[in-house]
Amino acid sequence: MTIKHNVAILGASGYTGAETIRLVHGHPNLELKALSGHSRAGQKLSDTYPNFGDMMIQKWEDIDFSEIDVVFACLPHGASQETIAQIKDKVGTIVDLSADFRLSDPVLYEQTYGRPHAFIDLLGTAVYGLTEYAKADLQGADLIACPGCYPTCSLLSLLPGIEAGLFQMDNIIIDAKSGVTGAGRKAKEGLIYSEVADGAHAYGVGTHRHAPEIDQMLTRISGQKSLVSFTPHLIPMNRGMITTAYARLAKGVSFDQVTKTYQARYKDEPFVRLMDSVPQTRHVRGSNLFGLGIFQDRVPGQVILVGVIDNLVKGSAGQAIQNYNVAQGWGETLGLEALPVFP
């Protein structure tokens, strides 16, 4: 008999919260017990998302956490750490989908987010949950920081080459594009239909907060200081993400070495697909898959890495559940086996 773990989802009315609800419903070992949403407390979930049932949304303060095994915190950046600090000792595991525990250096956190971290003691205990590179650390973890969607796609593209010393560290360029759900559900003028349809634009140029997160992991794996050039773009689609990374080969490294290294590193990873064709966001839509194409540039000694994910699944809710599966010693793919939706 399967013993189910009770789940609370905080911030259930946002896109990430809704995606977590959808995936939890399909997980054989998880049972949804509580939902919170500050602005929609007292309403039925179906009032916000008619595709779901009539479970009530409440304030997180009213949840009985003694009945909860795992919390998926889908709260806004800044608000998440305040809530997590108050419930940390009441539940077995917290999986944070915000940015509040991704950066291990409190000084870097303050520089990046413009405010000091209020719970530095907790910051040092969080496991950075890029699952394919964190499995040992995730075993039994009680606070997991899920990477951002841009870092997930960028890092999975670059890390095998960085780990093996195949790429130079001083000239990495990442061109990234995301669907509008990556910006959240809150009403903003720049996200209304007439502002985003029929066009695309760069934003956070030279300053985006995910760049230090990418640098942190590249530095950790390589042992060398990383400073990537990272530019995100918003494109008119609901979900999906594509990153194109450019890396210079280290002296004496061949393109054949690169492809063999990636094949060896990812051959046993259930959610990584190395593709011979150019990856497209539609190839992974609705799934927890990461698709990667590795190409030799016309510029001598340069490699182009094209990665795709669904920003709400592998870039957020799916990776969160994947992390919890690993933390519990369950099958890594449990509840995440759904194939991509096409068209």
Catalytic residues: 149
Across 197-301, where does the E strand assignment appear?
201-202, 229-234, 241-248, 272-274, 290-296
How far is it, in rounded angstroms, from Cα 207 to Cα 275? 31
- Give the strand pairing for 143-145 and 93-96: parallel
Cβ(189)–Cβ(195) below 8 Å: yes
Amino acid type, 207: T
Residues making up the chain, counted from first to last: 343
Region at 78 (left for phi over 0; alpha for psi -120 to 50; beta for the rest):
left
Specify whether the CB–CB gap between 87 and 94 falls below 8 A.
yes
Distance between CA atoms of 145 and 139, rounded to whole angstroms? Answer: 14
> Between helices 255-266 and 149-163, what is the axis angle to 10°?
120
Please report which helix (H) or strand (E) contains residue 226, including its range: none
Residue 257 Cα distances to 132, 161, 190, 260, angstroms? 21, 9, 44, 5
